Each structure stands twice: as C-alpha cells, then as structure tokens.
C-alpha cells in the first residue's frame, strides 16, 4: 500500500516534470509580468498627480497618458547682422587677358577696368569699402564681402541689329537673387539699354568666381553691353553704365539696411 510520503513524492515529480516540459512558457510569462510592472512603475505619476488625474477623469473610460518632462531652457534666436560692409568689383579679364577685341584694338579689358574704376570711386565717395579685383585674383578664395560684381562686355562682332543691351547671371551657389534683381532694375533704368537674356551663356551661369568665392557671398556677373552697337555708351559715355552698376549696388545695400 502506497504511503503518504510516496504519494507526495510522486506529486512533486509530476509537477517538476510539467514545469520542465513548459519551461519556455513559464520564462515568457514571468518576463512579461516583470516588464509590465516596470512599465507601470516608470509611467506612474506621483501620488498627488495621480489623485488629480483621478479627479479630472471621473466618469470617463480613459485617462490621459502622463509622463513628467523636465523643463527646457528657452533659447532666443536673434536676427543675424549682414556683417562688415565691403564690395568687390571684378574688372573682367584684368590681369589675365584682353577679352573680346575690336578690329581697331579696343579691348574688353579696357572697357571693364574703366567702368570698374568709376563704380569703385562712387562707392568710396559714400564711405563704402571696395576693392577692384582681377579676373583670377588670388584673394577670391577668401574674399568675404557683402557682394561681388564682375563687370564684362560682350563681343565686338556684328551679327544683327538686335545685339544690343545688357545681361546678368547670378551665383547658384549662394542666394544672389536680390542682388541680381536690383542690378537688372537699376542698370536698365539708368542706361536705358534693353535686357538681353537670350544670349546668357554657360560661361556666365557657371562663372569661375562663383565657385571660388567663399560660401555666403552673393555674386553676379554683368555684361554691360555689346562692344559693337553699344560701343558709344561703353566708351565715350562710360559714366552711364558705371552709374547703372553703382545704382544697382546702392539698391541692394539699402535692402540690407546699409543706408549710408
């Protein structure tokens, strides 16, 4: 006849056998219970807050999800100043080559340097720091400026009567839209020359100085006129295109808040 001790031993053995057979299930349920307790503890509000939640959600089937978050410091972003005022004027082809040449020897480099010198003089007369730069000036790579304008002139070859006027391309590497818009508006107004966008070439849109200047420097290149049909205004009345470039820069500086 089986004794009580033997019966108890068989009961323990049967329970142990079941536990071993279902060990994975037991471990999973235990881990799940521990995880739920940890989540409940982590997201539980303090006692006073819990009472407030209970009071404000009485009669509701749901309660707000609450997680205390430490206060963050408020950082105010101030408008950035445009920086020290300085204008760079590139006299096209200066220090490199003659540029376009007319049959009588008139060169693009002569025209651009003459106009650049007059623009610089007008800026200096109003207290604006300005540099006349060469075409491949070694300062370009580190030249931090408010704006850079490269002055060029178009071909002396005659093709047809429509080859008259000016054109402008702005840097695609730094936002130069405002500078370009001011220059187009004011240069056209002062010189009364037509805007001639259909002859803008890749040499203008991918102008080397755009790639050499530091990021953040607005820059444009302007072809101030054709050396054939616009020759008279570019040479004997060069103060007019110079005044147009100056007025375009003055428009841009006014937009930036430089009202000198």
- Domain extents for the chain? 4-56, 87-256
In tens digits, what is the pLDDT along the chain, a chain of 260 residues? 455 555 555 565 565 665 666 667 767 777 777 777 776 666 665 554 545 445 554 554 544 544 454 555 444 333 344 568 999 999 999 999 999 999 999 999 999 999 999 999 999 999 999 999 999 999 999 999 999 999 999 999 999 999 999 999 999 999 999 999 999 999 999 999 999 999 999 999 999 999 999 999 999 999 999 999 999 999 999 999 999 999 999 999 999 998 75
Assign domain 87-256 to a CATH class: alpha beta
Spell out the alpha helix ranges (H) of the chain: 4-21, 23-43, 47-56, 108-125, 177-191, 202-205, 208-212, 231-235, 239-256
Give the predicted TM-score (pTM) of the model: 0.69
CA angle 214, 219, 224 (to 5 degrees): 145
């Amino acid at each position: 006849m089986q004794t009580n001790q033997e019966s108890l031993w068989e009961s323990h053995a049967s329970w142990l056998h079941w536990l071993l057979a279902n060990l994975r299930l037991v471990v999973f349920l235990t881990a799940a219970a521990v995880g739920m307790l940890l989540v409940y503890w982590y997201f539980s509000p303090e006692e006073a807050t819990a009472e407030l939640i209970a009071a404000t959600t009485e009669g509701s089937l749901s309660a707000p999800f609450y997680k205390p978050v430490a206060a963050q410091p408020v950082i105010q972003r101030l408008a950035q100043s445009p920086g020290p005022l300085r204008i760079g004027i590139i006299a096209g082809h200066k220090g490199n080559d003659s540029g376009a040449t007319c049959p009588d020897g008139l060169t693009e480099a002569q025209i651009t340097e003459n106009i650049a010198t007059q623009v610089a003089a007008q800026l200096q007369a109003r207290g604006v720091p300005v540099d006349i730069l060469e075409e491949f000036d070694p300062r370009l790579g580190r030249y931090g400026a408010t704006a850079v304008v490269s002055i060029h002139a178009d071909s002396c070859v005659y093709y047809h009567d429509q080859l008259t006027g000016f054109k402008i391309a702005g840097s695609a590497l730094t936002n130069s839209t405002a500078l370009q818009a001011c220059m187009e508006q004011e240069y056209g107004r002062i010189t009364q020359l037509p805007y001639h966008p259909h002859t803008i070439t890749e040499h203008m849109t991918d102008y080397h100085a755009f790639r050499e200047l530091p990021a953040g420097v607005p820059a444009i290149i302007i072809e101030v006129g054709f050396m054939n049909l616009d020759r008279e205004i570019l040479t004997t009345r060069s103060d007019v295109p110079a005044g147009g470039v100056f007025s375009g820069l003055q428009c841009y500086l006014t937009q930036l808040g430089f009202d000198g």
